[in-house]
Structure 1
Amino acid sequence: MILNRQKSQLLVVDIQARLLPVMAEQERLMANVARLCQAARLLDIPITISEQYPKGIGPTVPGVIDACGSEAMVLPKMTFSCLREEALAQRINELGKVHLRRQVVVCGIEAHVCVLQTALDLRSDGFDVVVIGDAISSRTAESKSFAIERMRSHDVDVATTEMAVFEWLERAGTTQFKTLSQLIK
């Protein structure tokens, strides 16, 4: 499956103040999440941000909020899977069913818990799911690796930030291409 910007939505999972500092490869994670969010904004792809128990883990980090802009919808959750929280499930399903955005591009933390459970639930509900492997993290590389292996075994695609951005773009020579290709460099 090739990503199509008219059929895509971006889901940013739990990149929060008290969780981010213990993640492996934080700088790479944040750079790639920012690129995805900026590309989604430029290409009019809806963005949803989840926050796991924000009272305890803190809000989404400012870098993500800045990259996603005011158009992104931020919703709290207590469940690990975004689809098991009513408001998040409603938002994702509305975008999927009403607006025909059945491709869910997922990034965030932790890969082996919230990202994994969300991706598996999305697949189970019939969405096309692409997890961005260089825009997810866990506390250990081993946990992330096992999560990716498990997602792939359940027909979840795994791609890179650059793959997603260029699939959304489809062609060179546009103003959007010029702007986004500068992000990737």
Structure 2
Amino acid sequence: MLLARDKSQLLIVDVQQKLVGAISGKDKVVEACVRLVRAARLLDVPITISEQYPQGLGPTVDPIREAFANNGFVLDKVEFSCLKSEALRERLHELRRKGRPQVVVGGIEAHVCVLQTAIDLEAQGFEAFVVADAIGSRDKASAKRAVSRLLKSGADVVDSEMVLFEWLERAGTPEFKEIQALIK
């Protein structure tokens, strides 16, 4: 199944100041998350950002917050899966009721919060699309195991370019030029 921008929502999971420093390949993960957020804003795809215990782990990193520009929701949680948080679960389900069952997921850590969220999304009838270049863990092996498990759970594993071009559907539009600039 292909992604459609009018059926999608974007979820960025826990890319926070005190967590991101320990993530293997952190710069690429943050860059891919920023790319997704900017594209979602440009294409009117609703955005939700989760923050795991922000009092202790700090807010979402600045590059993502700047790309986000208060265009969506930032919600705190203490649960690992976003679907175990009442506020996040309600937000995601509300968007699904409005015709957006596809959830594009990026964030950290791949083998904990991202994995549990994507498995719960699939179990609750969403279509989870986990963006491989926009997720990370402290240990690369943990992220690799997470991807393997995600595939077995029914989640689709994609990359950020796949998401952007599926959302676009065609070249030759003003949006295409703006999205193309995000990739270069």
CA offsets per residue over residues 127-146 of structure 1, 9 Å max, x none? 01100000000001100000
RMSD: 0.5
* Equivalent AA in structure 1 for residue 155 of structure 2: V
Tell me by how many angstroms 1:67 deviates: 1.0
Aligned residue number for residue 158 of structure 1: 157
Aligned residue number for residue 35 of structure 1: 35
Aligned residue number for residue 20 of structure 2: 20
CA offsets per residue over residues 43-86 of structure 1, 9 Å max, x none? 00000000000111111111111112211200000100000000
Aligned residue number for residue 142 of structure 1: 141
Aligned residue number for residue 170 of structure 1: 169
* Equivalent AA in structure 2 for residue 63 of structure 1: P
Aligned residue number for residue 79 of structure 2: 79
Aligned residue number for residue 114 of structure 1: 113
Tell me by how many angstroms 1:30 deviates: 1.1
Tell me by how many angstroms 1:90 deviates: 0.4
How many residues are aligned here? 184
Residues of 2 paired with 1:121 and 1:162: CA distance?
25
Residues of 1 paired with 2:160 and 2:171: CA distance?
17
Q: Does 1:129 align with 2:128?
A: yes
Q: Does 1:46 align with 2:46?
A: yes
Aligned residue number for residue 88 of structure 1: 88
Structure 1 residue matching 2:6: 3-state secondary structure: coil
* Equivalent AA in structure 2 for residue 58 of structure 1: G
**Structure 1 residues without counterparts, runs of 5 or longer:** none
Structure 2 residue matching 1:176: 3-state secondary structure: helix
Aligned residue number for residue 183 of structure 1: 182
Structure 1 residue matching 2:128: 3-state secondary structure: strand
Ranges of 4+ aligned residues in structure 1 off by more than 6 Å: none
* Equivalent AA in structure 2 for residue 25 of structure 1: G
Aligned 8 A contact 1:37 1:67 in 2 = yes
Tell me by how many angstroms 1:31 deviates: 1.0
Tell me by how many angstroms 1:122 deviates: 0.2
Aligned 8 A contact 1:52 1:79 in 2 = yes
Aligned 8 A contact 1:41 1:69 in 2 = no
Residues of 1 paired with 2:94 and 2:16: CA distance?
25
